[in-house]
Amino acid sequence: MPTPELISVDDLFKLPARAQAAISPDGTRVAYLAPWQDRLNVWVAALDSDAEFGADALRVTADETRSILHFEWTDDSRWLLYLQDTGGDENWHVFRADPQNPSEPAVDLTPFPGAMSVFELLADPGKAMVYSNKRTPTLVDVYEMDIATGELTLVAENPGTVSGWPTSRSGELFATALTSDGDVELLQWETSTRTLRSIVTFDGADYTMGLFPITVTPDGTGIWIGSNDGTDHTRIVRVDVITGEQTHVDSHPTYDVDPRACVYREMPQPLILDRHSRDLIGVRYLGERQVVQALDPQFAAVLENLEKLSDGDLNAVSSDLSGQRWVVNFTHDREPGLTYFYDHGTGESRLLFGSHPHLTAEDMAPMKPVTIRSRDGLTLHGYLTLPVGVEPKNLPTVLLVHGGPWVRDSWMFIPAVQLLANRGYSVLQVNFRGSAGYGKAFTKAAIGEFAGKMHDDLIDGVNWAVDQGYADPERVAIFGGSYGGYATLVGVTFTPAVFAAAIDYVGISDLSNFMRTLPEIARPHLANNWHLFVGNPDDPEQEADMLARSPITKVDQIRTPLLVIQGANDVRVVQAESDNLVEALRARGVDVEYMVKDDEGHGFVNPDNVIDMFRAVDRFLAEHIGDG
């Protein structure tokens, strides 16, 4: 296969032409995201039209500052609700857009400065539950919202322990909370007494990110959750809200329920619900690729036909209230995204759009699932992407480390991976111990192993790539964001001889400072993840161990060329994490590149900033492991 021409950073990272389509409940229109003023906004187009899809589209939002990433139709197809923050500060506001009057400005329904609000739609299409910490920063309360007027009615005040409020479509309210021992408790809100009644308690050490997924059954008598009680892999059970008894609903013999939406809002939820009844009709599982299991005969027939539309993995799905008309999106390693319409009643299907029509799939590099043996015998899964048209031998290589750490890499189109492969680098992604989706024991194998065996797994991956002949050991770079940024800094402080270049993107340099500066709303809920896996900075002995695992205490070891990238409004990994590292290096006379964007948070969103960042990445890697 010939070597493809160089693809510009601008072409790979420009906004999609269209993305994230969702059919209206009445089945007549499709809402989707498309650019306006170089920001993604919500547009609505007719589904049944003689013209090409989108030719009659109307823009219903006008955000010039920051792209919109999450929206939903109300069940009567009257309104669109969406979330937006300010410059990446994660103080989400709930906005209402009017598809019948697209020229009307969107309305901020939660105009509370400094507060975070998210919503969940109720069966009454004029109502939504809103969860907000406007009363006090550390506690999320529950309000019922009248969507048309914006009126909020307090439903439940947080007593101080609640971390989440699952709600049924008819408004029955439940809660998840941490006990004093760090266990996870499931409770029911008693409206008459305005108190919480305990249903069941789970071992907190088994639920690193809390109960996920969690959805109340339509009748409010049960709750579907992802459970690994008595098993290694996460399956779906129904918890009886009266007795707490767990009943098996669905499982996969070797895969966990897809964990990605636990962290990434843009990923589809693992539970697929009927649009009208809200019954559970499908469950997503994740191995090397995604597997969707149907729990309903009608959806099984729909699913069979949907999966014929593309050889990619089924991503976002939406249907009308009848369950006959569907709009679905597929993710693929070489294809940025294809969105189809399918009518189950007529059998009609057609491609609505591709997200990046200017890119050619044949020019993209395939992601190959790989299995690596760790030095202590664990099986590590990951992906290797090799450049197209280049002999896969002795290549400059980028070890790309995912964030979390309790998430995982998966088979999908990743612009950063394609940029690197297009430049002639092999790209290795290793799901090191602690990554989600490989069973409870694999996740818990990371307890106490920050800068320890978690990092050994990454080095074992590099050694595997060298031994297989793919990677040139003298030209290996490490690049990661969030936890991956921490792993990058660990790489250049604990194992500096391995890497010829390093890129730290919103990464942690000081584990104790990171935990102390997390948003107030997050700090009460660290017992089962950061405190369990790393330590509690309020304990002097544990803090000392955390500092020993923190790159900030080992900056004298850094001799690898380093690029640091940070968002000024990051509330998870605050700018001081990068500032302190860069200042310490410069005080030693070490030349370190540092990029800070004033209008970004924990991960860049605005395309001008994303493009600026990857131009710097492209140039930096070319200088240090490429051909210059």
Q: Closest Cα to residue 258, out of 226, 230, 296? A: 226
Partnered with residue 247 across adjacent β-strands are: 238
Q: What's 248-284 look like in SS3?
A: EEECCCCCEECCHHHCCCCCCCCEEECCCCCCEEEEE
Q: Closest Cα to residue 272, out of 241, 308, 231, 314? A: 314
Contact present, 366 and 334 (Cβ < 8 Å): yes
Reading the block at residue 290, the tokens are 């995604």
Contact present, 524 and 539 (Cβ < 8 Å): no
Catalytic residue among 482, 509, 512, 578: 482
Is 602 annotated in the active site? Answer: yes
CA angle 259, 262, 264 (to 5 degrees): 105
Q: Cα–Cα distance between 69 and 482 in angstroms, integer?
A: 20
Catalytic residue among 509, 602, 618, 624: 602
Is 504 annotated in the active site? Answer: no
> Coil, helix or strand for 110?
coil
Catalytic residue among 256, 510, 570, 618: 570
Is 570 annotated in the active site? Answer: yes
Position of tokens 């088979």? Answer: 411
Q: Cα–Cα distance between 16 and 68 in angstroms, integer?
A: 13
563 φ/ψ angles, rounded to the nearest 5 degrees: -115, 125
- Listing DSSP states for 457-521 in one string gives HHHHHHHHHHHTT-EEEEEEEEEEETHHHHHHHHHHHHSTTT-SEEEEES--S-HHHHHHTS-TT
Q: Closest Cα to residue 514, out of 577, 567, 568, 566? A: 577
Q: Cα–Cα distance between 554 and 315 in angstroms, integer?
A: 42
Q: Cα–Cα distance between 47 and 412 in angstroms, integer?
A: 27
Contact present, 349 and 339 (Cβ < 8 Å): no
- Residues catalogued as catalytic: 482, 570, 602
